[in-house]
Amino acid sequence: MKGIYVTDILEATEAVPTTGVGKKIQGQIKALKDSSIECTLHCLRTRENSFAQKILIRFAVFGDGLDWTVTDEMRGADFLYIRRPCFCSHGMIRFLREIRKVNPTCRLLLEIPTYPYDSEYKTSLFWIPLLWQERYWRRKLKKYIDKTVILCNDQEVFGIPAIHIKNGVDLSQLPVKKQNKSDCINLCCAAQFATWHGIDRLLLGLAEYESNRENKRKVHLYLAGEGPQSAELRKIAEMRHLQNVVTFCGRLNSDQLYEQLYDQCDIGVECLGNFRHGPDALSSSLKSREYLAAGLPILFAGRLDVIEDEQADFCLQIPSDESSVDVASLVSFYEKLLQNETKEQLSARIRLYAERHVGWDRTFKTVIQWLKEQTDQIP
């Protein structure tokens, strides 16, 4: 069986991606190949859209800025695994229609990385025109797509039956972290910061912790990455006089993440504001997998798929609301973990959990099994 992974994520074509999405795509392709399923990557763009192009794609007559050409390789493929682009467009539907015409036995899977996602378009008026196009054209997806691939528990999306996966990581590329010798508890969060990461809650909690002189244990927060909320987070840190306990690291590549972040830190911070997506929002972030692979305990709020139905004493869950993070309780949580084991032993135990739960061979197996079931049905 041979197939093609279709995406608009240009970074996935790089030899060494620097963000989680690029790593995820390459990890999924590797998992398919490791399961004796041939798969190549096809990117729908050769460069990022200019500002002018970003303006034009908001008007449907100018297209979506992607090259939806049906290639010769696609005409003979057994399956196409399509990662949902920024929005569903006329060009995408025309592409699916053409594939069905020239290769009627081709299995078409559509991965939807976040669902539901309409609220993501409503963060700015700039995105509303794309939401209008998305809602119109996605109604036609069920004519062509065989399966949606999702990270939530819905049985179908847009009338299309779903295959459920979890995000994973390539564990061979993620070693266990080195241990620091500092008495300070160092927290880290690597993200493209948005409201649902909830880092504002942690900054407010740090300000309260610092203002209480009874709190003797030092705590420091390192934030790596940039995103739509980065400026607001810097503003909060400045207004709350947190310059000495919060470091903004900017964007870091894979090597820098370990050298400047994971190796120096003790706890990884997951999404603390996922409830802003909705009361039952489930976090399936790639970053949580990286924390586990590195051997870091995790701070999170709400639901975290990778530990649901599992015993994970190295993960601390806080309330899913707008309250500030109780940093004193976080300190107590970490100190309790180290009462009966060393930092090295703790990281080794967390790494073992990662090997059992977050490798792509485990998290992507539902897709692999479904594709293999189709083999006998392909003429």
For residue range 106-144, what is the model confidence (pLDDT) as tens digits?
999 999 988 777 677 666 666 677 788 888 889 999 999
Residue 326 and residue 332: Cα distance in Å, rounded?
Answer: 10
Mean of all residue pLDDT scores within the chain: 91
pLDDT > 90? residue 325: yes
pLDDT in tens, 237-287: 999 999 999 999 998 887 888 888 999 999 999 999 989 887 778 888 889
Q: Indicate if 172-357 has the same CATH topology as 2-165+364-377.
A: yes
Q: Are 257 and 287 in contact (CB under 8 A)?
A: no
Strand partners, 112: 150
State the average pLDDT over residues 306-313. Answer: 86
> How large a percentage of the chain has pLDDT more than 90?
69
Can you list the alpha helix ranges (DSSP code H) found in 240-364?
Answer: 254-256, 286-294, 327-337, 343-357, 360-363
For 2-165+364-377, the fitting CATH number among 3.40.50.2300, 3.40.50.620, 3.40.50.1100, 3.90.190.20 is 3.40.50.2300
Neighbours of 72 (CB within 10 A): 8
Domain topology for 172-357: Rossmann fold (3.40.50)
Residue 193 and residue 201: Cα distance in Å, rounded?
Answer: 13
Give 87's pLDDT tier (boundaries 50, 70, 90). confident
Give 60's pLDDT tier (boundaries 50, 70, 90). low
pLDDT in tens, 17-48: 877 789 899 999 999 999 999 999 999 988 77
DSSP strands (E only) in 210-324 = 219-224, 246-250, 267-269, 282-283, 298-301, 303-304, 315-318
Length of the chain (residues):
379
DSSP strands (E only) in the chain = 2-7, 38-43, 79-83, 107-112, 147-150, 156-157, 160-164, 185-190, 219-224, 246-250, 267-269, 282-283, 298-301, 303-304, 315-318
Q: Which residue has the tokens 């109780």?
A: 326
Q: In which region does residue 367 sit, left (phi positive, over 0), alpha (psi from -120 to 50) or beta (all else)?
A: alpha
**What is the structure's pLDDT at 222?**
98
Dihedral of the alpha carbons of 23, 26, 29, 34, in degrees to the nearest 10: -90
**What is the structure's pLDDT at 260?**
86
> How large a percentage of the chain has pLDDT more than 70?
93
Give the sheet arrangement for strand 298-301, strand by strand: 246-250, 219-224, 185-190, 267-269, 298-301, 315-318
> Closest by alpha carbon to 257, among 23, 9, 42, 3?
23
Q: What is the pTM of this model?
A: 0.78
**What is the structure's pLDDT at 195?**
92
Give 76's pLDDT tier (boundaries 50, 70, 90). very high
pLDDT > 60? residue 61: no
Residue 333 and residue 58: Cα distance in Å, rounded?
Answer: 48
* Nearby residues of 365 by Cβ (< 8 Å), 6 or more positions away: none
pLDDT > 80? residue 49: no
> Closest by alpha carbon to 32, among 152, 149, 157, 112?
149
Which segment of 7-11, 235-239, 343-347 scores lowest on mean pLDDT? 7-11
pLDDT > 70? residue 180: yes
Bigger pLDDT: 375 or 338?
A: 338
pLDDT > 80? residue 329: yes
**Extents of the domains making up the chain:** 2-165+364-377, 172-357
Residue 171 C-beta-side C-alpha neighbours within 13 Å: 20
Extract the tokens encoding 277.
């997506």
Dihedral of the alpha carbons of 335, 339, 345, 350, in degrees to the nearest 10: -50
Q: Are 39 and 65 in contact (CB under 8 A)?
A: no
Q: Are 74 and 99 in contact (CB under 8 A)?
A: yes
Residue 272 C-beta-side C-alpha neighbours within 13 Å: 24
